[in-house]
């Protein structure tokens, strides 16, 4: 603790002060960590209404002071500032810090709230427009940029971006109409030839994280029952959402997809000791197609998802390292669904997502979330403000207050279980829970734990 912070703490100890006075004193001493810890838990109602503004202003000052040198702590301070008062300054700082720490969903929510509550402040419309343009949501960007007041200092920059966004909407509209036409065609298909699967000898599929062997079946062209052209073997059935895409014209890209799928299969087997037995569909979407099919919000939030017995990859135009990691993550969901006889949805969301996230971390070469997220979680663990496993049972983690932290907390919980008994014991428990056994009962039998005691293990691991 700095000398100034120590002096401030001594003064606070010597003479009881109100929450507002305490916050002002810590901010004046630039004791940002102590300020965060003092107000990191609890609700606004815990502070008398006349003092909430002072607490929020102090937290906002910390957010502004640290947004460049320590964006994780700045994010934490900004988030708490808005709990006590959703001022324009607090919302702006929270949005900026959230963007720096890749909490884009939080940034968007803060900007939208600011736009609604402070319509004369041009910064909210401009920053939201920029964010949505980066997320390839030109329609949303146009709506945000059009709300920037003509007389605001942000008006000129907003007008320039508005021209770009309107041009982009023309392209998106065309893509949306084509996707809708194809979806109608898919839904109306009633017959077709079954997928072709031909057994051959193993073949090398390229280089991944070390040499990777291809599936024991070659990929062969065929047509599914839904009328979609496919490339398939006994493990994977590859489809493009746009059925008019020519596999032959995209041979190089498809070859890399095949290698990445085999890599996901092999890596999952090396981690879990077993893999899915039934083949799984892999549906490749462009960003515009994914956005039309699943909505703009989900298209911005996820790189892919597993649903209806298919892994659906968002923005499959390029196969990046993150896209490959997404294939691994979603393949784990597909494997869990198979292990539970098609009832993977019966698993608590934290258990299902936690294993997928943990295996993805391992694929990317680590056992922890990225450093900025881990630092944030360490602070949250000290303040006992991490999400509880019991709160992450049934709804998608994207709906949590901080989805990144929710996914990472779930993965740390799974990591701690795997460390105690390996993947064999873990998957035995998973199968029981998938078939209806209560999670606390299964945790107690296999690990001597409950969700509450596992919460404590997660906190201890992060501290």
What is the reported pLDDT for 53? 94
CA distance 37 to 111: 26
Residue in the structure block whose two tokens are 């699967």? 197
Q: What own/partner pairs with CB < 8 Å and gap ≥ 24 does 226-234 have?
A: 226/186, 226/189, 226/192, 227/185, 227/186, 227/189, 227/191, 227/192, 228/186, 228/189, 228/192, 230/195, 230/196, 231/258, 232/195, 232/196, 232/197, 232/279, 233/197, 233/279, 234/197, 234/199, 234/279
End-to-end CA distance of the chain: 18
* Nearest Cα residue to 280 out of 202, 323, 345, 339: 339
What pLDDT score was predicted for residue 41?
76
Q: What predicted TM-score, i.e. pTM, was given to this entire model? A: 0.58
Q: How far is CA 431 from the centre of its chain?
A: 25
Phi, psi at 190, each rounded to 5° = -120, -10
* Mean pLDDT per 10-residue segment, the chain (463 residues): 50 62 93 89 86 94 92 90 94 91 82 93 94 82 92 93 83 57 49 30 30 46 74 82 64 71 89 89 85 82 82 75 85 93 90 95 90 89 92 86 91 94 92 94 94 95 90
pLDDT score, position 15: 45
Residue 226 in tokens: 């839904």
pLDDT at 2: 53
Residues in the chain: 463
10 Å Cβ neighbour count for 305? 20
State the pLDDT at residue 10: 46
E strand or H helix at 221, and its extent?
A: strand 220-223
Q: Which of 54, 56, 103, 51 is nearest to 78 (CA)?
A: 56
The rounded distance, in Å, linking the Cα atoms of 73 and 399 is 23
Per DSSP, helices labelled H in 190-274 are 251-272
According to DSSP, the residues that pair with 310 across neighbouring strands are 281, 307
Residue 345: its pLDDT value, please?
A: 85
310: left (phi over 0), alpha (psi -120 to 50) or beta: beta
The whole-angstrom separation of Cα 331 and Cα 368 is: 20
Provide the 10 A C-beta neighbour count for residue 74. 25
Distance between alpha carbon 153 and the CA centroid of its chain, in Å? 34
Distance between CA atoms of 102 and 408, rounded to whole angstroms? 14
At residue 283, φ and ψ (nearest 5 deg) are -105, 125
Q: What are phi and psi of 341, to 5 degrees?
A: 60, 35
Residue 172: the pLDDT is 57
């Amino acid at each position: 603790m700095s000398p100034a912070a120590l002096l401030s703490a001594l003064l606070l100890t010597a003479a009881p002060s109100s929450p507002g006075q305490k916050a002002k004193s810590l901010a004046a001493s630039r004791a940002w960590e102590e300020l965060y810890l003092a107000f990191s838990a609890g609700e606004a109602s815990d502070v008398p209404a006349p003092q909430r503004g002072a607490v929020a202003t102090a937290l906002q000052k910390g957010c502004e002071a640290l947004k460049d040198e320590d964006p994780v702590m700045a994010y934490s301070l900004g988030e708490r500032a808005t709990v006590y008062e959703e001022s324009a300054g607090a919302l702006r700082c929270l949005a900026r810090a959230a963007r720096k720490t890749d909490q884009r969903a939080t940034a968007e929510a803060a900007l939208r709230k600011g736009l609604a509550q402070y319509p004369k402040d041009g910064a909210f419309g401009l920053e939201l427009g920029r964010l949505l343009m980066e997320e390839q949501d030109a329609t949303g960007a146009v709506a945000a940029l059009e709300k920037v007041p003509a007389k605001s200092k942000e008006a000129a920059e907003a007008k320039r971006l508005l021209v770009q966004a309107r041009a982009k909407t023309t392209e998106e509209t065309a893509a949306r109409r084509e996707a809708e036409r194809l979806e109608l065609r898919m839904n109306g298909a009633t017959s077709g030839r079954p997928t072709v699967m031909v057994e051959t000898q193993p073949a090398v599929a390229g280089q991944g994280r070390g040499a990777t062997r291809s599936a024991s079946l070659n990929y062969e062209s065929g047509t599914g029952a839904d009328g979609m052209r496919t490339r398939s073997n006994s493990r994977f059935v590859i489809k493009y959402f746009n059925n008019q895409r020519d596999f032959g014209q995209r041979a190089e890209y498809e070859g890399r997809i095949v290698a990445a799928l085999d890599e996901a299969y092999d890596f999952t087997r090396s981690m879990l000791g077993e893999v899915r037995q039934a083949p799984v569909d892999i549906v490749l979407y462009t960003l515009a197609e994914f956005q039309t099919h699943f909505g703009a919000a989900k298209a911005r939030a996820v790189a892919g998802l597993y649903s209806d017995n298919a892994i659906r990859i968002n923005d499959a135009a390029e196969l990046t390292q993150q896209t490959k990691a997404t294939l691994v993550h979603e393949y784990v969901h597909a494997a869990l669904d198979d292990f539970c006889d098609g009832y993977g949805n019966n698993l608590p969301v934290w258990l299902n997502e936690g294993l997928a996230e943990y295996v993805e971390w391992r694929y990317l070469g680590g056992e922890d979330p990225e450093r900025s997220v881990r630092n944030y979680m360490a602070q949250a663990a000290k303040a006992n403000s991490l999400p509880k496993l019991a709160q992450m049972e049934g709804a998608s983690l994207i709906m949590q207050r901080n989805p990144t932290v929710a996914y990472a907390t779930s993965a740390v919980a799974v990591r701690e279980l795997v460390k105690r008994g390996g993947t064999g014991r873990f998957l035995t428990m998973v199968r029981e829970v998938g078939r209806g056994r209560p999670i606390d009962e299964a945790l107690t039998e296999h690990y001597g734990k409950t969700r509450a005691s596992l919460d404590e293990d997660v906190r201890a691991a992060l501290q």
